Each structure stands twice: as C-alpha cells, then as structure tokens.
Amino acid sequence: MLKDFLDYNWRKIDIYLVLLATGLSYYGAMFIGSAAQGNLMNRQLQGLLLGVAAMLITALIPYNFVLKFYWLIYAFCIAILLLVRFFGDNVGEASRWFEIGGFRFQPSELAKILLILFYAQFIMKHKDNLNTVRMILACVGLIIPPFYLIFDQPDLSTSIMVMVIFAVVMFVGGISYKIILGAMVVFVPAVIIFINMVLKEGQTILNDYQRNRILAWLQPEKYAMTEAYQTTNAIMAIGSGQLTGKGLNNNVIATVKNGNFISEAQTDFIFAVVGEEAGFIGCCVIIGLLFLIVLECIMVARKAKDLAGSVIAGGMAGLIGFQTFINIGVVTGLLPNTGLTLPFVSYGLTSLVSLFIGIGFVINVKLQTPRETEF
C-alpha cells in the first residue's frame, strides 16, 4: 500500500474531474432549493461536502489495496441489502431505506459502486479465462443475489442499472464480441417477450404500479391523469422554459413547479425544473457537464495501469452515462418512468456521496497512471 502511495503521479491528480463533479453538484443544489420547500438545499450541500471528503479519502487510498478485500466488499454489499430487506423502513409498499440520524440511507445506491469494485478485481484475477463458459456462469451467478435483493425491494429501476453496470464491466473486462452478439440475439427477443408478459392482466412478475408505468408510457393519453401525469407535466415544463427559462427561484404562478404539478420534483424530475427555470441553455449545461464527466472517466480507463483500474473507471462511466440517459429519457417521455435519479443533480444524499466515492476511485486510478502513458 505504501509503495503504491509513494509512486503516485501527483502532477496528474484529476482536478478537472473534481471541478466537474463538484460544480455540477452545486449547480444541482441550486435547482433543488428552487424545487423544494424547507432545507433540502442545505442538506444537499451538506451531502456535497461529505461527498467531497469521501472522494478525497478514496482518491488517496491505493485502489489495488482496497481490491485485495474484494470478497469482503461483495459480502458487505449483500449484507447491507439483506439488512434493508428485513429491517428497512417501509414506504409505499417498498423497503429501500434506513433512517440514520434524520437522514435516509439507501443501500442499493452504494451497492452499485461496491459491485464495480468487486468485479474489477474478480475480472482481473480471471482475465485469462474470462470467456470460458465456467467463468461467464460464475460472473452471472455472482450478480444474481444483489440483483434479486434490489428487484425484490421492489426497485425495478435500480435492478436494471445493476445489470447495465454488469454488462459494462464485462465489456471493459474483455468479454468476447461473439458472446456479446450472442447475448444480444437472446436479450432483444427476451425483452419483447417480457414486456408482452407483464402487460397481460393478472401477471405476477411486476407490481401493479410498475406495470401501469409501462402502460402509461405506451398509452400516455389514457393515463394522462394518473401514471403519465408527472411525465406529461415535465414535458410541458421543459417546453415552457424555451431558450433561457423563467428564472431560478421564480414565483410565477403559471409554472409547473410552483403549481405543484410535479410531486417531489427535486428527485427524479429535477431535469424538468432545470428546463423550466434555465431553459434549453440550462439543460445543455447539465448534459454537457455529465458528458464531460463520462468522457473523462473513459479517458482514465484507457490509460489505467491495469485491467482493474480500467474496469473501475469504465464502470463509473457506464453508471453515470446510462443513468443520465435513462433519467432524461423518462422526463422527456422517451422511456417509461423508472424512478432513477439524475447523477450529481437530483436530491439524494446516498446517491450523491456514493457517486463521489466512485469518482474518488477514478481519480485514484489516474494517480497511478504509468508515467510513460501520461495524459
């Protein structure tokens, strides 16, 4: 551990990534303050400070040292998911959180980062036989327990993200293109069959509210006053902002936000608030900053000193990139309502701090970039 620390290439500390993540989070906190009553903005800023502290700590601890305990990381991931299953607070027929000191902790958000770390080491240790049937089955078998525990909370959106992260880390880890194509041949028809099955009356695969969200996406007019209500109003809000928006913290009554047409807008639908108050320009700023974060993670992955570093940085790029796409796709009506937050922007302390922990590991990967392949 000490040798790795002494070998850090301090001139290559990723200040650029730090500024992108902290700047975007502060920008998001401004809109949270506008979208929600009370002290949620102050809480988000507290989360930002905690996240930055966690990022600095993880950036300084050599990731190779942390990954030595990859089985403990996996066990801890399963343990916190089991704890919330049996002892978590039940809200709206879902058990996803713990209440800790007035703050809600959502283990599934941290589980995303823990799984990236676990698979980084697991894939590197077995990289020579990753494309064998035995290893592929092992990788799939290890993702099933956390996937099921999250899916059964129930939390369909986060369980989907877990599978997306799994696909990304396997791709970065060097899974064969033939296997990828074979999986796609099976996956696409399976999704079509799955959707057809869950749309049938009396199905037991999804809860009724999850099924209705898919129906609302396919038939928004029929569900305009129920499941499609949020998305319809979000689209209206984004459109009404036009180029420059109606202004941050505006008190115009004729707005979707001030009229309370979007409940809990500070979480899943914060992008609608950005569109209404900052307009097209504000939306482009949010998307641009997220794109730059993803791009920087990809660049770090390409130059990492080993496969584990590439998987960590590539996994974070996949997590932030795909979650951004899904969140904005939901708000703009391109995808069914999933309940996923917008990375670094939506209100949620567990999500924010977990993302900063992941960014800290990406910074750590870059600090250990071999000098002959410096950026």
Query: Residue 352 pLDDT more than 60?
Result: yes
Angstrom distance (rounded) from CA 340 to CA 289: 18
Residue 7 domain-assigned?
no
Q: Is the residue at 4 inside a domain?
A: no
* Residue 351 within any structural domain of the chain: yes
Indicate the number of domains in the chain. Answer: 1
Q: Please give the residue range of the domain that contains residue 182.
A: 12-373
Q: Which residue has the higher pLDDT, 182 or 328?
A: 328
Question: HSE-up of 228 (CA within 13 Å, CB side)?
Answer: 19
pLDDT tens digits, residue range 252-262?
666 666 666 67
pLDDT at 40: 85
C-alpha 271/C-alpha 263 separation (Å) is 13
Question: Does residue 49 carry a pLDDT above 90?
Answer: yes
Q: What percent of the chain has pLDDT over 90?
A: 47
Q: Is residue 148 part of a domain?
A: yes
Specify if 112 maps to a domain: yes
Q: Hey, what are 130's tokens?
A: 């990753």
User: Within a 10 A sphere around the Cβ of 342, how many other Cβ atoms?
Assistant: 26
Q: Is residue 2 part of a domain?
A: no
Residue 3 lies in a domain: no
Q: Are 23 and 286 in contact (CB under 8 A)?
A: no
| 186 against 15, higher pLDDT | 15
The reported pLDDT for the residue numbered 212 is 67
Q: What confidence score (pLDDT) does residue 311 get? A: 96
In this structure, is residue 340 part of a structural domain?
yes
Segment 238-291, tens digit of pLDDT: 888 888 888 877 776 666 666 666 777 788 889 999 998 999 999 999 999 999
Strands (E), the chain: 89-91, 94-100, 103-105
